[in-house]
Amino acid sequence: MGIILLLLLSSIPPFQAAAADVFCGNVKVVAATLVNKTSSSPTHFATVTFGDAPDVVYALALCRGDILDDSTCADAVTNTFRKVQNLTPPEMECLKGFSAYYADCIFIYNAINLLAASPNTVGSYEDGGRPFQRWNVKNVTGDIPLITGLIHDLRVETAEKAANATPKRFATGVLDSGTSFPKIYSLSQCTPDLSAGDCLACLRRLLGMINSTMALRMGGQMAVVRCYFRFDASKFYEGEPMITLGAPSPAPAPAEHKSKSSTNK
Ligand SMILES: *[C@@H]1O[C@H](CO)[C@@H](O)[C@H](O)[C@H]1NC(C)=O
Ligand SMILES: *[C@@H]1O[C@H](CO)[C@@H](O)[C@H](O)[C@H]1NC(C)=O
Ligand SMILES: *[C@@H]1O[C@H](CO)[C@@H](O)[C@H](O)[C@H]1NC(C)=O
């Protein structure tokens, strides 16, 4: 009994700072592992759990779906971790948790096992936490009810397209309202380990948080651990939009004529 107690005591680090260093050391290992694991994954997504209690690090990285090249994804993960380190206060070697949402990569690490949490309830840092969000300060102009309604439809349809996409749960879209209002581009993505239903629920939960003030904005983005969306008036992703929305056509008649004439042939 006395021997066991002695062994336990001797394994306790003498200073609290030493315990934090172990965690930070684990974070560095996790970051290096994630660069490789994420970029070599076919869906450019990876999770890593590393270390012994109480210094276990839970982490994930996801490259944006329009990054097709493995080395570009590796660079994105590397650069995002570098930004995370630059944002850490200089007096600290690392924080106990950090969620970074950048244009081309999501990088999250935490002492809390947020990988185990339900995709529907996962906030930015911990269960029930608030999502990451950033909004364009400009409001839409012109026919405001029409434009905001179309942007709403664009967000919903892009989310649905992403949820049903495999193996990456990722989709892009564009809205051309047919008015002088500029085109709006959209993007949605979930971590590819989510089912279509969980992905859609995750995105719908975010979309449901958009209040009437934010619904007027020309662009914005929201993210939690396993899903995010973005929309804006400039094209911020590579490749052709996967869905295109136009203004509701007031005259579906020409299409009917076409199909009639083809059946008459
Ligand atoms: C990345 O992982 C592969 C496969 O596990 C391995 O062969 C390679 O050496 C790793 N590269 C780096 C830079 O760690
Ligand atoms: C956007 O609209 C809101 C609500 O009408 C208004 O309070 C805000 O000042 C507008 N923002 C800009 C940048 O015009
Ligand atoms: C609308 O949502 C934004 C972003 O979450 C928040 O900052 C703002 O306080 C909300 N406005 C209202 C009126 O609830």
Label residue 250 by pLDDT band (50, 70, 90).
low
Distance from residue 58's CA to the centre of ligand 1 (Å): 20
Distance from residue 31's CA to the centre of ligand 3 (Å): 34
Question: Buried b vs exposed e over 65-96: b needs ≥16 C-beta within 10 Å?
Answer: bbbeeeebbbbbbbebbeebeeeeeeeebbbe
Longest dimension (CA), the chain: 96
Which residue puts its alpha carbon closest to atom 2 of ligand 2?
139
Which residue puts its alpha carbon closest to atom 11 of ligand 1?
36
| 94-118 mean pLDDT | 86
Residues of the chain within CATH 3.30.430.20 domain(s) are 4-130, 144-246
User: Residue 96 is encoded by which pair of tokens?
Assistant: 């106990």
Closest CA to 34 of 98, 89, 80: 80
Counting from 1 in the atom list of ligand 1, the atom nearest the Cα of 36 is 1
Distance from residue 139's CA to the centre of ligand 2 (Å): 6
Q: How far apart are CA 245 and CA 175, in angstroms?
A: 5
Strands 184-190 and 227-232: antiparallel
For 9-45, what is each residue's pLDDT tens digit?
Answer: 333 343 444 555 899 999 999 999 999 999 999 999 9
Q: Which residues contact 158 (CB under 8 A, 6 or more apart)?
A: 171, 172, 173, 186, 187, 188, 229, 231, 243
Is the CB of 212 inside a 6 Å radius of any atom of ligand 3?
Answer: no
Ligand 2 pocket: which of 211, 216, 218 to mutate (most atoms <8 Å of CB)?
A: 216
Mean pLDDT over the full length of the chain: 84
DSSP 8-state code for residue 65: T
DSSP code string of 163-227:
HH-SSSEEEEEEEE-SSSSPPEEEEEEE-TTS-HHHHHHHHHHHHHT--TTGGGBS-EEEE-SSE
127 versus 68: the higher-pLDDT residue is 68
Q: How far apart are CA 112 and CA 118, in angstroms?
A: 13
Residue percentage of the chain with pLDDT more than 70: 81
Q: How far apart are CA 222 and CA 72, in angstroms?
A: 23
Closest CA to 101 of 144, 57, 131, 67: 131
Strands 132-135 and 57-63: unpaired
Class of domain 4-130 (CATH, top level):
alpha beta
Is the CB of 261 inside a 6 Å radius of any atom of ligand 3?
Answer: no
Is the CB of 36 inside a 6 Å radius of any atom of ligand 1?
Answer: yes
Distance from residue 84's CA to the centre of ligand 3 (Å): 27
For 159-193, what is each residue's pLDDT tens digit?
Answer: 999 999 999 999 999 999 988 999 999 999 999 99
Which residue puts its alpha carbon closest to atom 3 of ligand 1?
36
For 181-231, what is each residue's pLDDT tens digit?
Answer: 999 999 999 999 999 999 999 999 899 999 999 999 999 999 988 899 999
Label residue 6 by pLDDT band (50, 70, 90).
very low
Label residue 241 by pLDDT band (50, 70, 90).
very high
Class of domain 144-246 (CATH, top level):
alpha beta
pTM of the model as a whole? 0.83
Tell me the ligand closest to 212's alpha carbon: 3
Is the CB of 86 inside a 6 Å radius of any atom of ligand 3?
Answer: no
Which residue puts its alpha carbon closest to atom 4 of ligand 2?
213
Q: How far apart are CA 11 and CA 26, in angstroms?
A: 18
